[in-house]
Amino acid sequence: MTTSDPRSGAQLRSYLALTRAIPLLAPALLKRRLARGKDLPGRWREKLGEPSLPRPEGPLIWLHAVGLGETLALRGLIAALADQAPQAEFLVTSTTRASAEVMAQNLPPRTRHQFLPLDAPAYLARFLDHWRPALSIWAEQDLWPGAVVATAARGIPLALVNARMNAEAYARRRRWTGLYADLFARFRLITAQDDVTARHLQALGAKGVSVTGSLKAAAPPLAADPAKLAEAREMLTGLTPVLLASSHPEDEFVALSALRAAHPRPLLLIAPRDPHRGQEIASRVAEHGLTATRRSLGQGPTADVWITDTFGEMGLWYRLCAASLIGGTFGPTEGHNPWEPAALGSAILHGPRIANFAGDFAALHQAGAAQPAQPEAVIAALTADHSAMAARANALSDAAQGALAPLATDLLKLAHLG
């Protein structure tokens, strides 16, 4: 546990001075993002600190994560906190449109979502005046200095959980050691996913870092609309669907090359990390001499490839596909979350590049619950019987979901809740 230090060094003071200029540019920049579809109509002003929801009665716990995967990972922690503090309400903030759209379909009870305001004093004051959190929990590595300082200045306890910082991320931050040391001094509790992250945080000035593992392993299963699930299951009757999940171009090239050579061919579902890439992927499928349909256009699985280029439906595909090839593992992305398929009984296969989830995959490999696949053999690997491997992964996921109680207890003590 760290101790609070209200002093600010030169780097933090300079940053905070610059943030006073943000309101001069923010409205125009946000309107431009809105025109490009990067923000949600009707909600973009949340980033100016203007709430779109009322504050609930009772103590409010505010949790922040930057993007889609990090935001979804908070659900298990919220469940553990809710079990111990039945009087508490929860606010989740994030910064990306995708995180807001998918989280809306996976909100735990007593939880609402807003966008984090831009890091300007006036926006943050408006946000904090409205929500008045009893506790502020930040996840992974997305720290907004202005928000941290403004929150600490009001005496609101701060915690950093699930921190993740590989060597590359640490190298980018080393020149800002003074700034990070000032920020970490304001946190009363800091936990890391692994020993490497803990060492990097300590090198940046964090004190008393504990290693508690990844929250992603403890997240509840992704939701699926029952009517859509029944409809999709009917469409897939008689087919052998396999899934490329959260894909990038490098993964798609590997999977399509293997599919073209496969006989017989299963139905390959491609769920891109960015659903807006549907047309691009369809063109790549054609270049491989294969056919494709796109779910976003209302088309069903009537070709070699079904491109499921829609938001918030991964809970469908993991339930319906016996095996999943994890995207980002054949290129520089270095992997995506393997625990989402694990929680829903879909066997986990992956390429060689898994640095972003090295600890997670190590735990799965040790339990015989995930398997690497060679590029030329990914389709054969996906169509093999991995039911025993999937069951082992599912058991690990179930066990992790019940292991967050000690962390929840420590967090609630900071705010005298529970």
Beta bridge partner(s), residue 323? 347
Strands 241-247 and 158-163: unpaired
Average pLDDT value for residue range 45-49: 97
Nearest C-alpha neighbor of 217 from the set 274, 162, 273, 255:
162
The predicted-structure confidence for 297-335, as pLDDT tens digits, reads as follows 999 999 999 999 998 999 999 999 999 999 999 999 999
Return d(Cα 230, Cα 273) in angstroms, integer: 24
pLDDT more than 70, % of the chain: 98
The predicted-structure confidence for 213-223, as pLDDT tens digits, reads as follows 889 899 999 99
**Mean of the per-residue pLDDT values of the chain:** 95
The predicted-structure confidence for 104-127, as pLDDT tens digits, reads as follows 999 999 999 999 999 999 999 999
Give the end-to-end CA distance of the chain in Å, rounded to a whole number: 19
Q: Which two tokens stand for residue 359?
A: 């600890």
Of 230-234, 247-251, 400-404, the least confident: 400-404
Return d(Cα 91, Cα 71) in angstroms, integer: 11
Nearest C-alpha neighbor of 251 from the set 179, 326, 304, 343:
326
Predicted pLDDT of residue 7: 59
Max mean pLDDT among 39-43, 96-100, 185-189 falls in 185-189
Q: How remote is the C-alpha of 88 from its chain's centroid?
A: 23
Instruction: Answer yes or no: are the C-beta atoms of 193 and 337 closer than 8 Å.
Output: no
Given a cut of 60, whether residue 5 has pLDDT beyond it is no
Predicted pLDDT of residue 4: 41
Given a cut of 50, whether residue 2 has pLDDT beyond it is no
Alpha helices in 36-120 (DSSP H): 68-84, 97-104
Contacts of 224 (CB under 8 A, 6+ apart): 313, 315, 316, 319
Given a cut of 60, whether residue 102 has pLDDT beyond it is yes
Confidence of residue 142 (pLDDT cuts 50, 70, 90): confident
Nearest C-alpha neighbor of 140 from the set 169, 120, 108:
169
Given a cut of 70, whether residue 197 has pLDDT beyond it is yes
Return d(Cα 183, Cα 148) in angstroms, integer: 7
Q: Which two tokens stand for residue 290?
A: 């294969």
Predicted pLDDT of residue 401: 80
Given a cut of 70, whether residue 3 has pLDDT beyond it is no
Return d(Cα 82, Cα 109) in angstroms, integer: 9
Task: Give the sheet arrangement for strand 267-272, strand by strand.
Answer: 292-294, 305-307, 267-272, 241-247, 323-326, 347-350, 371-372
Per-residue CA distances from 183 to 69, 152, 312 (Å):
24, 10, 34
Average pLDDT value for residue range 88-112: 95
Whether omega for the bond prior to residue 338 falls within 30 degrees of 0, making it cis, is: no
DSSP of 167-213: HHHHHHHGGGHHHHHHHHTT-SEEEESSHHHHHHHHHTT--S-EE--
Say how many residues make up the chain: 418
Predicted pLDDT of residue 1: 41
Return d(Cα 185, Cα 207) in angstroms, integer: 8
Instruction: Answer yes or no: are the C-beta atoms of 266 and 380 closer than 8 Å.
Output: no
Phi/psi region, residue 58 (left: phi>0; alpha: psi -120 to 50; beta: rest), is: left
Predicted pLDDT of residue 279: 98
E-strand stretches of 7-139: 60-64, 89-94, 111-115, 135-139
Return d(Cα 370, Cα 387) in angstroms, integer: 11
Given a cut of 90, whether residue 352 has pLDDT beyond it is yes
Average pLDDT value for residue range 198-223: 94
Average pLDDT value for residue range 5-11: 74
Question: Computed from CA positions of residues 99, 103, 108, 112, in that sequence, does the dihedral angle turn out positive or negative?
Answer: positive
